[in-house]
Chain A
Amino acid sequence: MKKYRARDLVTTYLFVLPGILLFSLFSLFPFFKVFQLSVFDWDGIATHMRFVGLANFHTALFRDPSWWNSIQNAGVITLLSLTFQNVLALILALIVDREIRGKHFYRVVFYLPPVLSGIVVGLVWNWIFNGSHGLLNHALKGLGIGGFEHFSWLGEPKTALYAVSVIHMWKGFGWGFVILLAGLQAIPRELNEAARVDGAGEWRIFTRITVPLMIPVFSLVSILTILGTMQIYDIIVSTTNGGPAGHTDVPITQILLAMEGSARFGYACSLGIVFGIILLAVSLVQMRLSKWSSRYS
């Protein structure tokens, strides 16, 4: 009887074995390893690592202006995404929600850019923003707006970050649109109809019915936008690679620089942890904000 039960348990464990094995190896181990490496000074090759305690964190927090510059850059892109990208997505979701004709078509077209890779998107937009042969400058010339003959939008320090933001927003818009549209469609039609019968205008319906019901969806889209945009990387690699002069440097490129460029694995790990804590803090603040606003309305 006991032998049967043991064999039964063994076969059961075989079900979870591949998953648990992969998970332990490629999720659990790296998670703890990052913390371990962060307190050492290591170039990735030497057999001996030098223990440095919290020195890496001290450097990261107080003596690395390029790190905080990268955080700021990512923050700018994130802020622009949270506002322009998501507001536009909301406006279009509201419009498409009402329209019956073409809803399917628009959803398919709008979600096409998010499906592409950051590398592809960056390489295509490189072309549009190109200084000498770019489409944007050509269009501006055609519209009669002079002065941008050879202006390299991605190469000039003043505009590079905003150009990258435009690319990121172009790619990300459809994703926010789909989620917001789903949220809108989950609102029962009867609520709107009843309000209209009671004489409420469109704006009233929007502020009193739509917005309060959509707050969880807004919150979700915001958190995911923040988390996704702060960790932007592929678009940077294919367009500016952090330049010009660090104006489009982002946290991930900084971490990779510490790891591959200056061979400081321990320091790179500490940057990763600091970054993780920043993201966690921002997420928590965002969740608090949404709880507060839903209670208020």
Chain B
Amino acid sequence: MTAHSSALQRPTDKFQYQALLYRAMHYARHALAHLICLSVAATCLFPLLWMLSSSLKTQSTVFSDMSLWVHQPLWNNYYVAWTRGNFGQYFFNSLFYTIVVVGGVIVTSSLAAYAFSRLRFPGRNFMFLLIISTMMIPIPGSFIALYVLLVKLHLVDTRLGYILPQINGGLALGVFLFKTFFDKMPQDLEDAARIDGCNKFQVYWHVAMPLAKPAIAVLIVFNALAVWNEYLLAFLVLSDQSLMPLQRGLMVFQGSLITDYPLLMAGIAISIAPIVALYLLMQRYIVAGITAGALKM
């Protein structure tokens, strides 16, 4: 008598009845767990779906029509937001800043990390610890002095003034990550390259960097997210609208056109589309980066 056939027949003894009950409870717990998880997942997604559906409504229906599905989607909202709403300009700015800062962080921190890891020079440990320490200690209010500095350097309301502090912001994690990878590089590889006539930079470029690809991936995602979502620095540094990134542009838009909600929602959708796309593509690296960092600490 197999367990399967006993489930089909009426339980004939107490033992089989208990087995059936246990099975039922197991499935019930399973179902409950999924119910909880799905509810939370729905809570996570619903506001975003609502935002999307609102972006396709008209100014008059967006207050009255409370359904998620839009019968006559107003795709034109996106065009209007992009052009008249300036979101095309903001988008370009965000893209520009993100690419430049991410590139800057990777180049700067990998070069420094290579020196900290594979080269010898006086002050090496001190400099490394100094840079890493900023990762641990948050200094609220440092943006005040940063602003003063940018004023002194005539970098206020310039692209460079917005970019450079953010490259610096990504240095600590970048140096830390790259050094971890470079430390693991076998000395033989470096020696072989040296014998073949490579100088320091060539070893860095041709041998060390290819080994650090996972670090590069994690840093691209982390820094891209940070720059794309940045607001405070843009608020302090940039007053020229043509230089503003998306987050700042959103607030400018919200301040000026208080009543046009569908356009605002379209602007928001434009703002998050690339970031959601990047996230879905690279979430593996984000999760790996966070968990590795968390477990190390």
A residues at B contact (CB < 8 Å) = 9, 11-13, 15-16, 18-20, 22-23, 25-31, 33-34, 37, 44, 88, 91-92, 95-96, 98-99, 102, 105-113, 115-120, 123-125, 127-128, 132-133, 135, 138, 170, 173-175, 178-179, 182-183, 186, 216-217, 220, 227, 231, 233-234, 237-238, 251-252, 255, 259, 265, 268-269, 271-273, 275-276, 279-280
Q: Please, could you name 27 A-B residue pairs with CB atoms under 8 Å apart, sorted by A? A: A16-B115, A22-B108, A22-B168, A26-B165, A26-B169, A31-B145, A34-B141, A95-B37, A99-B33, A102-B37, A109-B41, A109-B44, A112-B279, A115-B275, A123-B264, A123-B268, A124-B50, A127-B51, A132-B63, A170-B43, A170-B44, A173-B44, A233-B231, A252-B232, A265-B148, A276-B139, A279-B140
Which of B12-20, B79-87, B185-193, B280-288 lies at the interface with chain A? B280-288
Within 8 Å of chain A (Cβ to Cβ): is B175? yes
A238 touches B291 (CB 8 A): no
Using Cβ atoms and an 8 Å threshold, which residues of chain B touch A186? 295
A174 touches B229 (CB 8 A): no
A276 touches B138 (CB 8 A): yes
Within 8 Å of chain A (Cβ to Cβ): is B167? yes
Within 8 Å of chain A (Cβ to Cβ): is B261? yes
A26 touches B109 (CB 8 A): no
B168 touches A25 (CB 8 A): yes
A31 touches B139 (CB 8 A): yes
Which of B69-77, B212-220, B247-255 lies at the interface with chain A? B247-255
B144 touches A37 (CB 8 A): yes
A111 touches B228 (CB 8 A): no
Contacts A111-B283, A112-B44; A238 near B142 (Cβ below 8 A): no
A15 touches B111 (CB 8 A): yes
Measured CA separation A216–B296 after assembly (Å): 10
Within 8 Å of chain A (Cβ to Cβ): is B91? no
Measured CA separation A220–B283 after assembly (Å): 22
Within 8 Å of chain A (Cβ to Cβ): is B209? no
B residues at A contact (CB < 8 Å) = 30, 33-34, 36-37, 40-41, 43-45, 47-48, 50-51, 54, 62-63, 66, 107-109, 111-112, 114-116, 119-121, 127, 130-131, 134, 137-149, 164-165, 167-169, 171, 175, 199-201, 204, 225, 228-232, 235, 247, 250-251, 254, 261, 264-265, 268, 271-272, 275-276, 279-280, 283, 286-287, 290-291, 294-295, 297
A15 touches B138 (CB 8 A): no
6 interchain residue pairs of minimum CB distance: A272-B141, A117-B229, A182-B291, A19-B112, A33-B145, A30-B145
Measured CA separation A110–B43 after assembly (Å): 9
A19 touches B50 (CB 8 A): no
Task: Specify which of A116, A234, A238 lies most central, judged by the most chain B CB atoms within 10 Å of its CB.
Answer: A116
Using Cβ atoms and an 8 Å threshold, which residues of chain B touch A183? 294-295
Using Cβ atoms and an 8 Å threshold, which residues of chain B touch A9? 121
- Closest B residue to A107 by beta carbon equals B287
- Closest A residue to B278 by beta carbon equals A115
Using Cβ atoms and an 8 Å threshold, which residues of chain B touch A132? 63
Indicate which residue in A31, A95, A102, A106 contacts B142 across the interface (CB closer than 8 Å).
A31
Indicate which residue in A27, A44, A124, A251 contacts B51 across the interface (CB closer than 8 Å).
A124
Task: Specify which of B30, B116, B247, B271 lies most central, judged by the most chain A CB atoms within 10 Å of its CB.
Answer: B247
Using Cβ atoms and an 8 Å threshold, which residues of chain B touch A18? 107-108, 111-112
B275 touches A27 (CB 8 A): no
